[in-house]
């Protein structure tokens, strides 16, 4: 609740995607009845990205059905919404954001400008070289798919994998290339092998350890050339090569930028300024290290913590969320939870009952820091408390084996 | 207040079960069971958390 008795400047949220919308909702849920301004560079505010690589591509969901909040619910939030207007710069001393030709003054500011898809510097003048990040991207890809194109995907990450699975469902042949000889290896070999074998059995042509050196075409892309000298015929090149945080507009602000907006454990970047979502880097007290997470749940939960901290009269709670990711490919559920950067121990367990359930425990310095899972929703979620409380490695294995006796440790994991 | 789930939207990712285990249970295959439809006043915060953390926007709380 606002403690200002006089009329104060509004809370300003820069960013109209998941983190921005969730922050606005959380402010209202917590009873903030003051003015809230949302500045969004996109005209379509508050749509949801996860379906874009899955159900929207396969046509199961219309793009209009991906909204986190409908127009009616959005109106109820009573925001002053500046659509299709990018914040250009931030003046901390003057407590205002420059947008277009005007300025917006703030009492508190939430920076939730997210990230954008990275593009390889190839074929700038050719059509049908796309990324998949925005609703318009999804519309463009979906439209092209109606012509059953030959598709090459650059990057065997989760976007690439999900698109490949969606295209397989549609009977569209796809080739994925990745410069890494062993992409997804950071998730452990059991998890990685489970994903690659799914794609293999569905006929996806996977080429690892090769990159794209050149692209050819007259108007639209027609052919790609790989680093091993191979040429692939191609009507659509989709780049799934990661994303970059949208921080350029903060360049002259004086805020610290280092792989995103640098925030403290409570998501505070400076006096009266907070960050949330893909753009924000913060120190997660659970793991004692700085991280920046580009996943859905992180954006949603960080925004709620940031909103709470913006309204707190003093101090603020640290954000202790566990990085969490899920993916659906070929009807199977892949998940990970926790800090999977640089774990030093791993144990892969598979169900002995013939089901597809399998999990990978990941440990660092004798502590359970993360878990990966395939068709293991209940097990993965069941380990949240253990990861958050830094359960010992031996104790975690014991607990899993007692609770899920049908899971058998796999002593040897077959690599590629 | 009580919980309504749109089964067609649910993708079974299990956030709700993690945040409000008294109300939701999700199997390994992602099948959701609502354990307790009625939301007591003391449970509003975790259940609202589950609503906001559902990536499929499948959960609503109605009066």
Q: What is the DSSP string of B36-53?
A: --B--GGGHHHHHHHHHH
Q: What residues of A are in the B interface, CB distance below 8 Å?
A: 22, 25-26, 29, 48, 50, 68, 296-297, 300-301, 304, 324, 326, 328, 333, 335, 355, 357, 375-381, 384
- A274/A255 Cα distance (integer angstroms): 11
- A137/A81 Cα distance (integer angstroms): 23
> Is residue A415 scored above 70 in pLDDT?
no
Say whether pTM exceeds 0.90: yes
Interval A106-137: pLDDT, tens: 999 999 999 999 999 999 999 999 999 999 99
Residue A67 pLDDT level (bands cut at 50, 70, 90): confident
**Mean pLDDT for chain A?**
93
Question: Which pairing describes strands A79-82 and A36-39: parallel, antiparallel, or unpaired?
Answer: parallel
Interval A358-402: pLDDT, tens: 999 999 999 999 999 999 999 999 999 999 999 999 999 999 999
- B1/B42 Cα distance (integer angstroms): 11
> Is residue A413 scored above 80 in pLDDT?
no
**Model pLDDT, residue A2:** 41
Closest residue, chain A, to B29 (C-alpha):
A375
SS3 B16: helix
**Model pLDDT, residue A414:** 42
- Phi first, then psi: give them for residue A58, nearest 5 degrees: -80, -5
DSSP assignment of A259-278, as one string? SSEE--TTSEEETTEEE-ST
B26 close to A (CB below 8 A): yes
Is A376 within 8 Å of B53 when comparing Cβ atoms?
A: no
Q: How many angstroms away from the CA of B31 is the closest CA of chain A? A: 9
**Model pLDDT, residue A158:** 92
Closest residue, chain A, to B57 (C-alpha):
A68
Q: Give B-chain residues touching A29 at CB under 8 angstroms.
A: 48
Q: How many CA atoms lie within 13 A of A2 on its CB side?
A: 17
Task: Tell me chain B's radius of gyration from C-alpha atoms.
Answer: 10
- A199/A223 Cα distance (integer angstroms): 23
Q: How many angstroms away from the CA of A357 is the closest CA of chain B? A: 7
SS3 A103: strand
Is A304 within 8 Å of B52 when comparing Cβ atoms?
A: yes
- A321/A299 Cα distance (integer angstroms): 10
Helix (H) or strand (E) segment spanning residue A291: strand A289-292
**Model pLDDT, residue A8:** 86
Q: How many angstroms away from the CA of B21 is the closest CA of chain A? A: 10
A365 by Cβ neighbours in 10 Å (0-12 / 13-18 / 19+) ranks as exposed
- Phi first, then psi: give them for residue A214, nearest 5 degrees: -160, 160
**Model pLDDT, residue A157:** 95
Task: Tell me chain A's radius of gyration from C-alpha atoms.
Answer: 23
- A165/A160 Cα distance (integer angstroms): 9
Q: Determine the residue among B11, B28, B47 to mutate to test chain A binding: the one whose Cβ has the most chain A Cβ atoms within 10 Å.
A: B28
* A29, A324, A378 ranked by CB distance to B27: nearest: A378
- A415/A316 Cα distance (integer angstroms): 46
Q: Which residues contact A28 (CB under 8 A, 6 or more apart)?
A: A36, A77, A78
Q: How far apart are the first and last CA of chain B?
A: 4
């Amino acid at each position: 609740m606002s403690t200002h008795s006089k009329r104060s400047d509004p809370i300003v949220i820069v960013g109209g995607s998941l983190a921005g919308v969730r922050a606005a909702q959380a402010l209202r849920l917590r009873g903030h009845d003051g003015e809230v301004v949302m500045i969004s560079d996109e005209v379509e505010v508050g749509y949801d990205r996860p379906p874009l690589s899955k159900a929207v591509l396969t046509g199961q969901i219309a793009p209009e059905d991906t909204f986190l909040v409908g127009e009616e619910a959005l109106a109820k939030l009573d925001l002053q919404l500046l659509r299709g207007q990018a914040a250009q710069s931030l003046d901390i001393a003057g407590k205002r954001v420059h947008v277009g030709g005007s300025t917006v003054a703030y009492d508190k500011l939430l920076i939730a400008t997210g990230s954008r898809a990275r593009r390889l510097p190839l074929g700038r003048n050719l059509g049908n070289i796309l990324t998949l990040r925005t609703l318009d991207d999804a519309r463009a890809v979906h439209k092209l798919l109606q012509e059953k194109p030959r598709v090459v995907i650059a990057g065997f990450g989760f976007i690439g994998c999900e698109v490949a699975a969606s295209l397989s469902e549609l009977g569209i042949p796809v080739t994925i290339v990745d410069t890494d000889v062993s992409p997804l290896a950071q998730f452990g070999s059991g998890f990685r092998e489970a994903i690659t074998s799914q794609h293999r059995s569905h006929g996806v042509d996977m080429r690892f350890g090769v990159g794209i050196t050149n692209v050819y075409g007259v108007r639209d892309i027609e052919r790609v050339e790989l680093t091993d000298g191979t040429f692939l015929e191609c009507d659509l090149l989709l780049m799934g090569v990661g994303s970059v945080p949208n921080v350029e507009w903060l360049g002259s602000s004086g805020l610290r930028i280092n792989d995103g907006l640098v925030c403290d454990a409570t998501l505070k970047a400076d006096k009266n300024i907070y960050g949330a979502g893909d753009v924000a880097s913060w120190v997660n007290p659970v793991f004692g290290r700085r991280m920046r997470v580009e996943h859905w749940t992180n954006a949603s939960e960080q925004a709620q913590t940031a909103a709470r901290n913006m309204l707190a009269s003093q101090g603020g709670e640290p954000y202790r969320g566990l990085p969490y990711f899920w993916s659906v490919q070929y009807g199977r559920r892949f998940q990970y939870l926790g800090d999977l950067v640089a774990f030093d121990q791993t144990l892969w367990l598979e169900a002995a009952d013939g089901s597809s359930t399998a999990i990978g425990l990941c440990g660092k310095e004798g502590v359970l820091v993360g878990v990966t899972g395939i068709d293991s929703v209940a097990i993965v979620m069941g380990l949240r408390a253990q990861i958050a409380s830094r359960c010992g490695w031996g104790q975690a294995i014991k607990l899993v084996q007692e609770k899920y006796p049908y899971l058998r440790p796999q002593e040897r994991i077959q690599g590629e | 207040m009580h919980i309504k789930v749109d089964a067609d939207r649910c993708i079974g990712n299990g956030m709700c079960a993690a945040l409000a285990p008294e109300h939701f249970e999700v199997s390994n295959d992602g099948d959701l069971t609502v354990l307790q439809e009625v939301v007591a006043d003391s449970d509003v915060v975790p259940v609202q958390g589950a609503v906001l953390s559902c990536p499929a926007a499948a959960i609503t709380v109605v009066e």
